Each structure stands twice: as structure tokens, then as C-alpha cells.
Amino acid sequence: MNFYSTNNPSHKVPLKEAVIKGLAPDQGLYMPEIIPVLTESFYSRLPEMSFADIGYQVISAIFGDDLSEAQVKQLVDHTLAFDAPLVKVEDDIYSLELFHGPTLAFKDFGARFCSKLMSMLMEGESRKVRVLVATSGDTGSAVANGFYKVPGVEVVILYPKGKVSELQEKQFTTLGENISCLEVDGVFDDCQSLVKQAFLDEELNREMLLTSANSINIARWIPQCLYYFYAYSRLPKSDKKLAFSVPSGNFGNLGAGILAERMGLPIDIFVASTNVNKVVPDFLHGNAFQAKASVSTISNSMDVGNPSNFYRLLALYGNDETVFRQKVKGFYFDDADTSRAMQSIKDRTNYIMDPHGAVGYLGLRNLMRMFPEEYIGVFLETAHPGKFKSTVDRVLGIDLELPERLKEFMKGEKKAGSLGNDYSQFKEHLLKKLS
Ligand SMILES: *Cc1c(COP(=O)(O)O)cnc(C)c1O
């Protein structure tokens, strides 16, 4: 299968190039040339299938031309090494818990798939790959842990100084080995823009093999569709229509849900739920898409003002804005709304949501209030509440017990260089590190 650029559908490249380049040279995002629709028999068998079996089928449908059956199995087994349970929170409302992986956020799925696929595609190459990652918090930890000690790969993580939680920071700055970190004097969008400039810098690309492990990379993005199939397979039978609400920042996760729907998964509607960084909800309400400076919130992994995957979402709907606006509803919530939802769910059901999941829950509730009794809904719980312990403790007035895995990370010592929000400084750092 070839992959085309959202900026120029006639620019097509094979899998290896799409994964190693990450971003197309014209700055477009790669998209699968064909979106395979899975068979009726696959859909009828879904409820009996294991997560891994679902994974083999879906990944073969997309990557089967390029990878052997054994490679597909290896990739899926490595990626789906932990469960994604569906937990009932209220009548017709389910939380899809995506935080049972090594760094306790959904990004573990994409990062594990991406690191495995990259090392498969790089077999036999003598050159090292350098993975550049901009993170608002959870990508850094998932990618660092996914690539830790992977031979032939070096990871450089850029993150906004003072804008990620201490726990998040510890998860990527304490590893060392092939993982190095730069604290940038700026916001997430500045980190993302530095990384994008590096990918487009011809001189730098002559010197080294650069790639990205952000959700702009198809190897990070595509595997995220798997848990939508799995969640669907575990839902109780219902005559109601199905909604998925996705707490969103860079919009890779929502895009992966739309990909699953385009592959035939019967999802009736998506909710794009955001914090006050609301450029996509604004677009969905009829305005033009307009990137803005990002604003800090308690759901900091979604503090994105210029979401990279927007044009990928549009491409999934055949670049038809009307269809896009019909199939995806957008809502945004401020920190006070988010805190109230966390508190109210805790009081009524004893379920503890992290601030990101709470935004997803709120989006779903809004939809269900607009269309009473019509929907059964799933919101994606994208991180373990312990990852945002200080916020969760403050909002709920508790002292949340941290999972063992998080406590382990807290013991490490932070190692990170500092960087101004300045491309020439970043480039110099990359060139110097090489020698
Ligand atoms: C990254 C992240 C998000 C946003 O996901 P996108 O794919 O960038 O929209 C939401 N919640 C958490 C906890 C995250 O780490």
C-alpha cells in the first residue's frame, strides 16, 4: 500500500518512506491510499474475538501487502500487551480505559507499535535513525519508554518548560541511554514547530536520518484505531445509536476513531471534546479553521492551539466540510466545568476520572442531553488519574494512591538540557550531538 500526502494526493510513497519521513516533504500528512472496509463476517464475529485477534485482522487489512503474517503478529502482540477495559460509569455511558500500559496513557499503544515497526523497517540499515518528538506530556513518556534501548534509534524529546506535570516529566527525563530531553522556553506549539522545521531542513536531513514519533506519523496514528473496534465488541447490545467522545488535543486519537468508522465500524457520531483550546469545536460550529496560541489548562496534554491532524480528519471525510460537521460534534469545557464533572462522578459513582477523561465525559453528556435517549456512548479515558495526581487531589480533596509503575519513575533523576524557542539553536544542538 502507498501513502499519499494530504497536501498533494498525487505524491505517494511506500510504507517505509512514510514511516521514516514521518511528515511529507510538502508538510502534508501521510494517509493510506486505500481505506480497506472489513468484511461482514469480521463484524459479526467481533464479540467473540480477543483484542489480539481483532488487531491481527485490522492491521493485516492495512499493512498486509508490506508485512508478513509473522511480522503483523509480532507487531500486534507487542502493541496489545495490556488490556483496554470498558467500564460502565452511568446508564448508557462507558469509560474506555486506555491507561493500563507502561506509562499509563493511551499513547503507549501508538508508541509501542511505532517503535516496533520502525525497527522492523530499519533492519539491515547501517544508519541510525533519530526520532524527534514534541510533547505536551504523555507522548514524551510513551515514546521514550517505547524506544528505550532500541538499537539503532536515538530519541530527542522537546517539551515546554514548566508546562508538563512532574510525573510526566519524570517519565521521560530520567531514562538516559538513547533518550535525551530538551526543555524549551515556550509552549507545546513552539516545540512542535521546531521539530517540523527540522524535518524540512535539507541540510540537516543530509547529515542524519530524522523521523517523528508524534501522531503525525502513520505508525503512531493508525494502531490507535484498534481499541475502537475492541470497545465496540465489548459493549452490551443496544438499540440506541453509538457515540464515541474523544478528549482531544492534536486530534490523532479522534482521527483513528474516524479511520475505524471508515473501515466499516458502525459508529454513528463522534464528539470532539476539548478544553478551552477549542479551534476544532469552533470549526465544527461553522467557523473557518483558525490556529491560535495555546492556553494552559488542567488537562495539559490537550493544550494544543494548532492541531496537526486537522487536515487528516478532513481527508477522512473526502475533504467535505459538510460531512465532517455532520459526523463530528464539537464541545469545549473550561477547568471549572472539568473539575465539577470529576467531583460529581466521584460523588455519585465513586469513579475517578483524570482531567482529560473528564473533558471526554462532558462532551458525551452534552450530546446525550441534546438527543435524550438516542445514544449509548463511550468516552476515552486517556490517562490514569495518578498521572495528574496534584490536580486530582486538589479537585477531589483526596490523596490518590499512585500505581507502582508511577512510583518507580518518581525515584529517577531528571536530566534535560535547556533550549530557547529558537530554531538555529536547536539545529546546532542536533548537529553537535551527532559528532
Ligand atoms: C495526548 C493526550 C490527549 C490528546 O490526544 P490527541 O491524539 O493529541 O488528540 C488526551 N489525553 C491525554 C491524557 C493525552 O496524553
362 part of a folded domain: yes
Q: Is residue 357 part of a domain?
A: yes
Q: State the average pLDDT over residues 93-116.
A: 95
Residue listed under C-alpha cell 501487502:
65
Q: What is the mean pLDDT of residues 124-148?
A: 89
Residue 422: is its pLDDT beyond 80?
yes
- Does residue 282 sit within a domain? yes
- Res. 359: pLDDT tops 60: yes
Contact 115, 147 (CB under 8 A): yes
Taking CA atoms, 149 is separated from 48, 145, 213, 233, 267, in Å, by 37, 9, 16, 35, 39
**Cβ-based neighbours of 2, under 8 Å, separated by 6 or more:** 12, 13, 14, 33
Distance separating alpha carbons of residues 354 and 105, to the nearest angstrom = 11
182 C-alpha to center of ligand 1: Å?
Answer: 21
Q: Is the pLDDT of residue 165 over 90?
A: no
Task: Determine the average pLDDT of the residues in 229-249.
Answer: 97
Q: Residue 286, by phi and psi: left (phi above 0), alpha (psi -120 to 50) or beta?
A: left
The residue among 150, 145, 156 whose CA lies nearest residue 108 is 145
With contact defined as beta carbons under 8 Å apart, do 243 and 257 qualify? no
Mean pLDDT of 1-26: 94
| Centre of ligand 1 from the C-alpha of residue 105, in Å | 8
Q: Cell for 62?
A: 492495512
Cβ count within 10 A of residue 119 = 15
H helix runs in 123-263, sequence order: 138-147, 166-173, 188-200, 202-207, 218-221, 226-234, 252-262
- Give CA 221 to chain center in angstroms: 7
**For ligand 1, is residue 251 a contact (CB within 6 Å)?**
yes
**Three cell numbers, residue 280:** 476544532
Could you tell me if 233 and 46 are in contact, meaning their C-beta atoms sit under 8 angstroms apart? yes
Distance between CA atoms of 251 and 249, rounded to whole angstroms? 5
Q: Give the position of cell 479515558.
A: 381
- How confident is the model over 153-162, as pLDDT tens digits? 899 999 999 9
Q: How many separate domains does the chain show?
A: 1
> What confidence tens digit (pLDDT) does each residue in 201-235 have?
999 998 889 988 888 899 999 999 999 999 999 99
Determine, yes or no, domain membership for 43. Answer: no
Asked if residue 370 is part of any domain, the answer here is: yes
Q: Is residue 304 part of a domain?
A: yes
Question: Which of 250, 297, 338, 359 has the most ligand 1 atoms within 8 A of CB, as the residue to mutate?
Answer: 250
The whole-number pLDDT of residue 37 equals: 98
CA distance 398 to 401: 9
Q: Which residue has the higher pLDDT, 322 or 433?
A: 322
Domain that includes residue 388, residue range: 83-101+221-396
Which of 146-160, 193-207, 237-251 has the highest average model confidence (pLDDT)? 237-251
- Cβ(308) to ligand 1 under 6 A? no
Does residue 354 register a pLDDT over 90?
yes
Q: Residue 433 pLDDT > 80, yes or no? A: no
Spatial distance between the Cα atoms of 344 and 351, rounded to a whole number of angstroms: 10
pLDDT digits (tens, 9 = 90+) for 278-323: 999 999 999 999 999 989 999 999 999 999 899 999 999 999 999 9
C-alpha cell at 333: 469545557
* pLDDT tens figures, 54-100: 999 999 999 999 999 999 999 999 999 999 999 999 999 999 999 99
For residues 369-394, give the mean pLDDT: 96
Q: Check pLDDT > 60 for residue 30.
A: yes
Phi-psi bin for 11: left (phi > 0), alpha (psi -120 to 50), beta? beta
The three cell numbers of residue 248 are 482531544
Residue 297, domain CATH? 3.40.50.1100
Question: What would you report as the CA-atom Rg of the chain, rounded to the nearest whole angstrom?
Answer: 20
Averaged pLDDT of the chain:
95
Is 232 within a domain? Answer: yes
Task: State residue 224's pLDDT score.
Answer: 98
Give me the phi and psi of 173, to 5 degrees please: -85, -5
What is the SS3 assignment for 306?
coil
User: Does the pLDDT of residue 435 top 60, yes or no?
Assistant: no
Residue 256 CA, closest ligand 1 atom number = 7
Whether residue 332 contacts residue 362, with contact meaning beta carbons closer than 8 Å, is answered with no
Alpha-carbon distance 107 to 219, whole Å?
12
434 pLDDT band (50/70/90 cuts)? Answer: low
| Residue 382 in contact with ligand 1 by CB distance below 6 A | yes
Q: Is 301 in the pocket of ligand 1 (CB under 6 A)?
A: yes
Ligand 1 pocket test, pick from 95, 109, 253, 361 with the greatest ligand atom count within 8 Å of Cβ, gives: 253
- Ligand 1 binding pocket includes 101 (Cβ within 6 Å): no
**Cα–chain-centroid distance for residue 327?**
20
The secondary structure of 364-409 as a DSSP string is HHHHHHHSTTTEEEEEEE-B-GGGGHHHHHHHHT--PPPPHHHHHH
Residue 76 in domain = no
